[in-house]
Chains A and B, each alone.
Chain A
Amino acid sequence: MKKMLIALAACILAAFATGASADVPVLNGYVVDNAGLLTREQRQKLEGALRALQHQTTAQMIVLTVKDRGDLDAKSFALKVVEKSPIGVKGKDNGLLLMYAVKEDRFRIEVAYGLDGVLPDGLCGSIIRDVLRAKADPIKHPDKKDFAGAFEDAIAVIGKLIAKESGVTLKPVESQEYAENDTHTSPVWYVGTLGLIISGVFGFASLFIGGVSGAFFGAIAGFMVAATLTGAGIGALIGFFVGFIARFILEGFWYVGSPVVEAGFSALGGAFGGGGADG
């Protein structure tokens, strides 16, 4: 029940947030394998380990693979990803993104502020060089890179470090326990799916928020206004004005539509400041 409420709040905030929609993928699972490097079993095993990590330490680590990064470099790309899909607990700032781009053949570990102490940049670099590249090196394994193994090892190493920091001993993952198909336990996933539905309802207020969402909901509001001519949309028109007024009032109290309330911090999720390493 609590998670549903968090998800609902997330959707409302998502409806109001003016996100610059860059062409980076949305994180809608613990393992987002857009490059198709993992089999289903491998992915579920990794997801199990990541879910265990989150449940036992609250730190949220996500693995992302992409085919290529477009014309963004690793640092900008990773930062855009975590700004678009907030991960980690707000306040604790314990999110971590492990990313691999196939075309550029580059790993990047992006670390949130809270994990800076546990995983300084130098250590992240070491993990990439010594752990990930041990199984996925272009020179040593030109044809058979073992990404599943590499990710698994990296998760184990990172998990141990995070757990030690929190004074927790990571319990080994029982594949049955965690490999169930319930990847939708975190609010992050709801933002993507339900957000669109609920955003439509709040579309009236969104009309005046600029950006992509503004244009889209402007179309919906326009349709609603047209519908009022037949008398059927009077309610929609009322909603429109209520939303309009509400936006002004809310803006004062809840800083609705304010993308940068505290610099770099999103409304949900932990804060990332560009820390980490790539290689």
Chain B
Amino acid sequence: MRYVRYVGYGVLALFAFLFLHSWGAYNTLVTRDEGVKAAWSEVQSQYKRRLDLIPNLVRTVEEYATHEKGVFVQVTEARAKMAKAVNTDVSALASNPALQQQLLESQAALANSLQRLLAVAEGYPNLKASENFIRLQDELAGTENRVAVARGRAIKASQDYNAFRCRALTSLYNNLWHFPVREYYQAPENAEQPVQVTFGKG
């Protein structure tokens, strides 16, 4: 009956392995989950960054295009409305693709009125040549890029988290731990049109 002892060792080794592995898996899940939330929080702050640019932009255009009051009012109103949408709770945002879609679409609406503002500026060559306006356009292009990068990373973080959560042993443990799925909203190709500045393409 010597092999009983070896079987015992084997079982012990198995439990030791499972214990270590589950410990590691739990830590990884927690960290990746926090990564997802951090990524969505980053998306929100980049959208906020765009919101913060707007008053400056409006003021600059206003200086030159004094008679285009309508567009300014529209942009300022859109901004006020969107300022609320950007402050959703991140944990809710991270697992709710509907909320993500809402955020995306509300910001896209704002982008539209921004685009209209820039279209107005097109008709004022002095404005277009002013250093201030040119720099603001750079800022705007930069912010659009940051938003796009942040969204891409948030989606990637969600994918990595979900992939890990679904692994063989991890999904087994998860029956006990109940880590939720972090779904994400994959926008169709042309859903978000970033604000096109006159240069800075390519």
Contact = CB atoms under 8 A, between A and B. Distances in A.
Interface residues of A, number: 36
Interface in B20-65: 20-21, 23-28, 31-32, 34-36, 38-39, 42, 46
Contacts, number: 117
A260 B153 contact: yes
Interface of B: 17, 20-21, 23-28, 31-32, 34-36, 38-39, 42, 46, 131, 134-139, 141-143, 145-146, 148-150, 153-154, 156-157, 160, 164, 199-202
A229 B26 CA distance: 39
Interface in A223-266: 245, 248-253, 255, 258-264
A278 interface: yes
B160 A251 contact: no
B200 A264 contact: no
Contacts of A275: 142, 145-146
Interface stretch (A26-34, A38-46, A117-125, A186-194): A117-125
Interface of B is mostly: helix
A261 B136 contact: no
A263 B42 contact: yes
A277 interface: yes
A121 B138 contact: yes
Nearest to A277: B138
B186 to A, nearest CB: 17
A100 to B, nearest CB: 13
Given A106-B202, A263-B38, A279-B200, A251 B24 contact: yes
B100 to A, nearest CB: 15
A75 B135 contact: no
B149 A79 contact: yes
A126 B135 contact: yes
B142 A255 contact: no
Contact of A125 (B25, B135, B149, B202): B135
B21 A248 contact: yes
B146 A273 contact: yes
B26, B135, B136, B150: which has the most chain A beta carbons within 10 Å? B135
A274 B160 contact: no
A73, A253, A258, A273: which has the most chain B beta carbons within 10 Å? A273
Contacts of A279: 199-200
B145 A274 contact: yes
A261 B200 contact: no
30 contacts: A75-B145, A120-B139, A121-B141, A122-B136, A122-B139, A124-B142, A125-B135, A126-B138, A245-B17, A249-B21, A249-B24, A252-B24, A252-B26, A252-B28, A255-B31, A258-B28, A258-B32, A260-B157, A263-B39, A263-B42, A263-B150, A263-B154, A263-B157, A273-B42, A273-B146, A274-B145, A275-B142, A276-B142, A277-B138, A278-B202
B156 A260 contact: yes
Interface string A137-172: 000000000000000000000000000000000000
A104 interface: yes
